[in-house]
Amino acid sequence: MSIFSGLENIVKPDCDLSNFTWYGLGGKAQYFITPENVEQLADVTQRCNENNMPIRVLGLGSNLLVNDEGVDGAVVKLEGDLFTQTEFNGSQLTAWAGANLGKLVLDCVREGLGGLESLAGIPGSIGGAVKMNAGGSFGDIGSIVTSVTLMDRLGNVYEKAKPELVFDYRSVNITAPFILNAKFDLAESDPDQLLRTIKEIWIYKKNSQPLNTKNAGCVFKNPRGLSAGALIDRAGLKGLQVRGAQVSEKHANFIITQEGCKSADVKELISTIQQKIRETNNVELELELEIW
């Protein structure tokens, strides 16, 4: 562990990543690192850069499939007290990357602040949600982000704000490996109305998504003007199974897993779906799910 000499208290070699993803699948990380502050994170980042070591960032693992073989290099998880803190200042909110999005939605209700309620029922960390511009039918997170604080591969910290910060469908123009925190512009709202909105969204999701199964959310992005779930459904693929992985009968853009499932099963099912949609609709389905 010489590359991380002196950081042994935050570095765990050969760490099983299946414990950190919603699918509960995948192999080990060569190094699993949990920095306690920005200085430690910068140190880790610089050491990885100097040694040409790959570095990945793990949020809550709700949109991630890890290969059975695991991953080389460093996997960094921002889960300490600093990286999970949130601060309200009037209608302004600063949330650090490791903060839980679901919990923050409810915190905003208690504060009587609107803006995040449209993200009810979307799991994940703030960092992951910003990185992929998480959202759905009711809105996305990019609409209320005003700025983000980032760290590059050299450990330099800087801020990027709108209009330089541009959100698109399931993407944002951030190339830095680390989002440290994000600032949000919220609006004073009636807590009871916010709570009603959240309940309505939850009922909709409960009725339309396989919430009580092992899944990682929507697998594919919606092609422009189309619904990935509808394409998969119309192709007759609901219920299609590859060993322990199956296309959900409730929502065709979800792949659910059963006991004994391997990451390879999910990947094979993904390829099968993509090939079928390519043949039947001449449409290339792009992944929303991240695969390591």
What does the pLDDT profile of the chain (292 residues) look like in tens digits? 589 999 999 999 999 999 999 999 999 999 999 999 999 999 999 999 999 999 999 999 999 999 999 999 999 999 999 999 999 999 999 999 999 999 999 999 999 999 999 999 999 999 999 999 999 878 899 999 999 999 999 999 999 999 999 999 999 999 999 999 999 999 999 999 999 999 999 999 999 999 889 999 999 999 999 999 999 999 999 999 999 999 999 999 999 999 999 999 999 999 999 999 999 999 999 999 999 9
Percentage of residues in the chain with pLDDT exceeding 70?
Answer: 100
Distances (CA, A) of 73 to 49, 97, 255: 11, 21, 28
- The answer on 109 and 182 residing in a single domain is yes
In a domain, residue 218? The reply is no
CATH code at position 238: 3.90.78.10
pTM: 0.91
- The answer on 120 and 67 residing in a single domain is no
In a domain, residue 220? The reply is no
CATH code at position 163: 3.30.465.10
- The answer on 163 and 256 residing in a single domain is no
- The answer on 87 and 20 residing in a single domain is no
Strands 64-65 and 290-291: parallel
- The answer on 98 and 58 residing in a single domain is no
Tell me whether residue 73 is exposed, middle or buried, using C-beta atoms within 10 angstroms of its C-beta: 0 to 12, 13 to 18, 19 or more: middle
Structural domain total, the chain:
3
- The partner residues of 171 in beta bridges, in order of sequence, read 168
For residue 142, the enclosing domain spans: 82-195
- The answer on 191 and 87 residing in a single domain is yes
| H-run or E-run covering 86 | strand 86-89
Tokens for 28, please give them.
């080990």
In a domain, residue 97? The reply is yes
